[in-house]
Amino acid sequence: MTAEARYSPAAQAVINDYIDRLKCRLAGFPSCDREDLLREIASHIDEGFAVESGSDEMQRLLQVLRRLGEPADVINERMSPAMVKLGKKKGLPFYILSGVLIALFGLPLGLGAACLVISVLATIFALIVAYFMTAISLLVSGVAGIIVGVLLIADPTIIERIDRALGANIAVTGFPPYLSPQTDAFITVIICAILAGIGALMLWGGRYLLGGIGYLFKISWEKIQETTARHRQSSVAEQSSWIASVSR
Amino acid sequence: MNQELENKITQLRKGILELAIMGFLYRETHYGYSLVKALTMGGNLSLKEGTIYPILQRMTREEILDAHWVESPQGPPRKYYRLTQSGRAIYETLVQEFHRLVRLVNAPSASSLIGGCEEVGKELDIRKEGP
């Protein structure tokens, strides 16, 4: 890379500007190619500057850059003939054909795939919501049942008294009448405790469920990113080597 | 010089440039700057020096050239190039082709190309031009 200390700040700024403009022209290139090219041209500038005669630093530098050519010319060198010959490329009808095919079938297929993905995501989301709703309702009704049961054990007449106080009629359906109200309430408490326990267990397990689903999503997201990155890389490489092969 | 002629010259040079690069690298190892100097030294070829780098990169990708970075005692590291084994074979073929084309371009007459057979010239009704 450029040895910073060899140039005055103004000269360094000119070099940086040149390299930046070059970088813009190289936007579509694979990053390793781009870095290598920039490094090579920076090395060329240093070398040319060292060899260039003259006393004025800026004059020497500008002379080197003039001979190097404008970034647009440097990178255009292999693009422009490609454009000229593009129409003559033998495979062109196939490119057009594949374009038409993609437009005809690719788009609907792509939309279909998107719908599929969205519906699967929605289903998973709905399942998660249903799971937690079930857990919470089991827990809440269980706890409420326990409270009612405990109150009944303590005072079997409490319901009637509440009824009277409120002027309402809260019916508690009991077990078969041959059981005493206390036993009745006790069984209620046990059943409700089991329900609440199941609810609590489900909530507790939900953490793992969420974690697992999150993990699955993370993995598939990474896979998607990896695949698209690789695809983009190879298609850019293919494209630039294709352009290069045409430009010969 | 008019634009059209200039374009024709540019096109011609572009085709030759790659061959000239291979020619130098067939005999010597070069880095970008030294290669540019070698190509432009005799004043036979004027080019924007930077344009050589995308060409070198493409030829490296095509495995015609082999490149590696070397630290330089004076100044920045340099990327040295040389022809690969297949690059050498390609160069040899291209040079033969090039010489054939030069012979074609320099041929004094069509009949001289077809083994000096005057009959062919008559058959095709070729007339002499120029002095």
- Tell whether B128 is within 8 A of chain A (Cβ): no
**What is the DSSP code string of B19-55?**
HHHHHHHHH--EEHHHHHHHHHTTSS----GGGHHHH
* Confidence (pLDDT) at B119: 60
pLDDT level of residue A3 (50, 70, 90 thresholds): very low
More confident call, B60 vs A79: B60
User: Is the pLDDT score of A82 beyond 50?
Assistant: no
pLDDT at residue B86, rounded to an integer: 95
Q: Which residues of B touch A2 (CB under 8 A)?
A: 76
Helical H segments across A52-106, by residue range: 57-68, 71-85, 92-101
The mean pLDDT value for A156-184 works out to 69
Same domain, A49 and A70: yes
Inform me whether the pLDDT recorded for A87 exceeds 60: no
CB of A248 less than 8 A from some CB of B: yes
The number of distinct structural domains making up chain B is 1
**Model pLDDT, residue A108:** 80
Q: Which residue has the higher pLDDT, B123 or A61?
A: A61
Do A71 and A20 lie in a common domain? yes
The reply to whether B66 falls in a domain is: yes
Same domain, A34 and A153: no
Distance CA B70, CA B32 (A): 12
pLDDT confidence of A83, banded at 50, 70, 90? very low
Are A66 and A120 contained in the same domain?
Answer: no
Tell me how many domains chain A contains: 2
Q: What is the pLDDT of residues A8-67, one digit of tens each?
A: 899 999 999 999 999 888 877 788 888 889 999 999 999 898 888 888 889 999 999 998
Q: Does B80 reside within a domain?
A: yes
B49 Cβ under 8 Å from any chain A Cβ? yes
Q: Are residues A131 and A218 in the same domain?
A: yes
Same domain, residue pair A177 and A102: yes
Considering the domain boundaries, does residue B130 fall inside one?
no
A61: containing domain: 4-88
In the predicted structure, residue B65 carries a pLDDT above the cut 90: yes
**pLDDT at res. A168:** 66
Q: Where are the beta strands (DSSP E) in chain B?
A: 30-31, 65-70, 78-83
- The CATH number for B58's domain is 1.10.10.10
| A50, A55, A59, A61: CA torsion to nearest 10 | 20
Tokens found for residue A224: 């998607």
Residue A126: the pLDDT is 92
DSSP-assigned beta bridge partners for residue B30: B81
Residue B12: name the closest of A66, A89, A68, A81 by CA: A81
Q: Are A69 and B49 in contact (CB under 8 A)?
A: yes
For residues A138-164, average pLDDT: 83
| CA distance linking residue B38 with residue B42, whole number of Å | 8
Listed range (A152-161, B34-43, B92-101, B106-115) with the worst mean pLDDT: B106-115
Q: Show residues of chain A in contact with B53, CB under 8 Å.
A: 37, 40-41, 44, 74
Q: Determine the Cα–Cα distance for residues A47 and A69; give it in Å rounded to an integer.
A: 16
Paired residues of B67 in beta bridges: B81
Report the pLDDT value the prediction gives residue A4, as an integer from 0 to 100: 45
pLDDT confidence bin for A151, thresholds 50/70/90: confident
**A62 and A111 part of one domain:** no
Q: Which amino acid is at A36?
A: D
Residues A8 and A54 both lie in one domain:
yes
Q: Tell how many helices (H) and how many strands (E) occur in chain A.
A: 8, 0
pLDDT of residue B67: 93
Among A44, A73, A80, A246, pick the best mutation site for testing chain B contact (most B Cβ within 10 A): A44
Tokens standing for residue B126: 């070729």
Q: Do A62 and A136 fall within a single domain? A: no
Strand partners, B82: B66
Residue B114 is assigned to a structural domain of this protein = yes
Question: Residues 6 or more apart from A67 whose CB is under 8 A from it?
Answer: A48, B48, B49
Do A105 and A206 fall into the same domain?
yes
DSSP 8-state secondary structure symbol assigned to residue A87: G
Tell me which of A25, A54, A88 is where a domain ends.
A88
pTM: 0.51
Interval A240-247 mean pLDDT:
50
**DSSP reduced 3-state for B116:** coil
- What's the mean pLDDT in B95-101? 93
**DSSP characters over A223-242:** HHHHHHHHHHHHHHHHHHHH
* pLDDT at residue number A5: 53
* Average pLDDT in chain A: 79
Q: Provide ipTM, 2 decimals.
A: 0.79
Question: What does the block give as tokens for A1?
Answer: 């890379």
Q: Is residue B10 part of a domain?
A: yes
Instruction: Scan residues 50-79 of B and list those with Cβ closer than 8 Å to A.
Output: 50-51, 53-55, 57-58, 61-62, 74-79
Where among A47, A69, A88 does a domain terminate? A88
Q: Which two tokens stand for residue A233?
A: 């890389």
Residues A37 and A126 in one domain: no
Q: In the prediction, which pLDDT does A236 show?
A: 59
Of A25-29, A243-247, B117-121, which has the strongest mean pLDDT?
A: A25-29
Mean pLDDT within A147-166: 79
What pLDDT is recorded for position B43?
A: 72
Structural domain containing residue B12: 3-124
- Which two structure tokens, joined as six digits, stand for A124? 């998973």
State the DSSP string of A2-66: --GGGS-HHHHHHHHHHHHHHHHHTTTS-HHHHHHHHHHHHHHHHHHHHH---S-HHHHHHHHHH
